[in-house]
Amino acid sequence: MMNKWRNNRAWFLVLPVFVIVAFSAIIPLMTVVNYSVQDIFGPGQRFFVGIEWFKEVLLDQRLHDALFKQLAFSGLVLLIEMPLGIIIALMMPKKGWTSSACLVILALPLLIPWNVIGTIWIIFTRPDIGLFGAFINSTGIAFDHTASGVDAWITLMLMEVWHWTPLVALLAYAGLRAIPEAYYQAAKIDGASAWAIFRFIQLPKMRGVLTIALLLRFMDSFLIYAEPFVLTGGGPGNATTFLSIYLVKIAVGQFDLGPAAAFSLIYFLIILLFCWLFYQALQAVGTGDKS
Amino acid sequence: MKIKKRHFALICYLILLFLPIYWMLNMSLRTNADIMSTFALFPSHPTLENYMKIFSDSSWYSGYINSIIYVTMNTVISLLTALPAAYAFSRFEFIGDKHIFFWLLTNRMAPPAVFLLPFFQLYSTFNLIDTHIAVALSHCLFNVPLAVWILEGFMSGVPREIDETAFIDGYSFPRFFIRVFIPLIRAGIGVTAFFCFMFSWVELLLARTLTTTVAKPIAATMTRTVSATGLDWGLLAAAGILTIVPGALVIWFVRNHLAKGFALGRV
């Protein structure tokens, strides 16, 4: 970035955003902080308990389980989605009606409400009436995501990859389209291989959009709720009880507001920490590649 | 030969992508009895019965209208507030700019489950429960930061000489912004609007919590039906297909903008 104009009056331009986001963010956040340090029995009956809930939550074995599963899930999903999305973006036609058609088809899964995604996959993977379920079972492999934890994981991963890879692909495609033709011509003169073009021209140029893609995908996969809730309900057993499903069990199922609030604050901080690390790492990578 | 192989892989991927949606379309055209009794790749006796049911029952079709109303409101609010802010972030240096920029993004990171109750209390205080504006405002929480983030990228791609020239020519700031600057990043605004539309359309937890009957979104209507009437797979599939239609229409109309907008994106 070149030197920008120094002007603190620019704050007036940011003010509307600040007000509207603060209205929806800060007041509820303060309320949650307030819950997290109290024991609430009912309206008017509450006691200050300090950091008691935080201690309880941090020592909760089931929460550790859920966190571990969540990390594994998000990690695996990112490892599949990011490269796959980039490959698809590289394969897409550059112009003409075929590129519009690709964009439209790619965007379709993104436009389906999240609980409907779960519904689609229930239908799709049923062994008796679903295309996928029937296909797998006809090959002789017994596949049932309601009975086997491994199958439930595979189904969820497939669903997540199906649902969100297009977002990475769309963003990566945007990054690729912004590279001037002259860069490719220069590379051609130098006799650069396809890999060299990818490594030294395309990848560095996609850094900005890939940062957005990675952060969005990490946050949303870490917060995933509606799809596994509809598809497996956290089961079989606790196989797919991710953090948010466990959290809802405490908050809504048992109505333990204090621990649930403490839980969600810790949850929030974990995501914040990871996003900040990703953000810093990607910024650093970018400045190193700029040469 | 190499190009053909590449296209073949892409076409395979797109077909795989479309299969689950096709399967839902297939089921939506069959009766529930038919679905449960036979396995068929193509509907043998296609029927529009499920769709008729949805279009004739106001508790069904009003869900679609409600969703479209609050999604549109949210997209407009997000764009109107995000445009000046994104301009400030792309052009000026001011106290706390970097912190605010990152803080905005952190608002997408709050687990909604527990924040639902405070949200409900907050909007009750303002007497906004079960209104479209409540859902639209609550979705600003994650859409406004995203809009600022994306628009800032597009705006930084516009050289600053354009602003300077316009100011020397005697344009006032609002006139410059509306007459000169916005047309320049029109495609970027299209892309941003698409993302706002998308994320607001697919969100369910907040929308369901803040509404009861008058502004109930379609996705919530669907979950209720699942539990209330057992599982009418055909009806459910038809409702699901109809949730894709508005988004598909939006993307069809902005497809050229989208391709162009993506091409302008700064990286």
DSSP-assigned states of every residue in B15-51? HHHHHHHHHHHHHHTS-HHHHHH---SS-SS---HHH
The partner residue sitting opposite A174, judged by closest CB among B7, B105, B262, is: B262
**Which pLDDT score, from 0 to 100, does residue A85 have?**
93
Tens digits of residue pLDDT in A121-170: 888 887 777 788 888 878 877 777 777 778 888 888 999 999 999 989 98
Nearest residue of chain B to residue A219 (CA atoms) = B109
Determine contact: B39 vs chain A, CB below 8 A: yes
Of A184 and A5, more confident? A184
Determine contact: B105 vs chain A, CB below 8 A: yes
Confidence of residue B1 (pLDDT cuts 50, 70, 90): very low
Q: Among A46-60, A188-202, B6-20, B46-60, whose mean pLDDT is lowest?
A: A46-60
When scoring B5, B83, B154, B262 by the number of chain A Cβ atoms within 10 A, the one with the most, hence best to mutate, is B262
Q: Which of residues 128-167 of A touch B (CB under 8 A)?
A: 128-132, 134, 162, 166
Q: Report, as an integer, the average pLDDT of A104-109.
A: 86
B227, pLDDT greater than 60: no
Q: How far apart are CA A217 and CA A173, in angstroms?
A: 16
Are B265 and A105 a contacting pair at CB < 8 A? no
The model carries a pTM of 0.85
How close is the nearest chain A Cα to the Cα of B205, in Å?
8
B119, pLDDT greater than 80: yes
- Residue A95: what residue type? K
A289, pLDDT greater than 70: no
In this structure, which long-range contacts are made by residues B31-34, counting pairs with CB atoms below 8 Å and at least 24 apart in sequence?
B31/B234, B32/B232, B32/B233, B32/B234, B32/B235, B34/B234
Confidence of residue A285 (pLDDT cuts 50, 70, 90): low
Which residues in chain B have their CB less than 8 angstroms from residue A135's CB?
none
Q: Report, as an integer, the average pLDDT of A69-91.
A: 92
How close is the nearest chain B Cα to the Cα of A197, in Å?
16
Q: Is the dihedral of CA B191, B197, B200, B204 positive or negative?
A: negative
Q: Report, as an integer, the average pLDDT of B243-251.
A: 83
B74, pLDDT greater than 90: yes
**Which pLDDT score, from 0 to 100, does residue A111 have?**
85
When scoring A23, A34, A104, A116 by the number of chain B Cβ atoms within 10 A, the one with the most, hence best to mutate, is A116
Are A131 and B114 a contacting pair at CB < 8 A? no
Confidence of residue B84 (pLDDT cuts 50, 70, 90): very high
Are B114 and A264 a contacting pair at CB < 8 A? yes
Tens digits of residue pLDDT in B142-185: 899 889 888 887 888 788 888 888 888 888 888 888 888 888 88
Are A108 and B244 a contacting pair at CB < 8 A? yes
Q: Among A8-12, A103-107, A247-251, B253-257, whose mean pLDDT is lowest?
A: B253-257
Are B110 and A268 a contacting pair at CB < 8 A? yes
Q: Report, as an integer, the average pLDDT of B199-220.
A: 82
Longest dimension (CA), chain B: 75
What is the overall mean pLDDT for chain B?
82
**Three-state SS string across chain A, please?**
CCCCEECHHHHHHHHHHHHHHHHHHHHHHHHHHHHHCEEEEECCEEEECCCHHHHHHHCCHHHHHHHHHHHHHHHHHHHHHHHHHHHHHHHCCCCCHHHHHHHHHHHHHHHCCHHHHHHHHHHHHCCCCCHHHHHHHHCCCCCCCCCCHHHHHHHHHHHHHHHHHHHHHHHHHHHHHCCCHHHHHHHHHCCCCHHHHHHHHHHHHCHHHHHHHHHHHHHHHHCCCHHHHHHCCCCCCCCCCCHHHHHHHHHHHCCCHHHHHHHHHHHHHHHHHHHHHHHHHHHHHHHHHCC
Confidence of residue A77 (pLDDT cuts 50, 70, 90): very high
CA of B137: how far to CAs of A74, A92, A132, B111, in Å?
Answer: 29, 37, 39, 18
Of B39 and A82, more confident? A82
Confidence of residue A290 (pLDDT cuts 50, 70, 90): very low
A238, pLDDT greater than 80: no
Residue B250 structure tokens = 């939006």
B266, pLDDT greater than 70: no
**Which pLDDT score, from 0 to 100, does residue B253 have?**
76
Residue A271 structure tokens = 């995501």
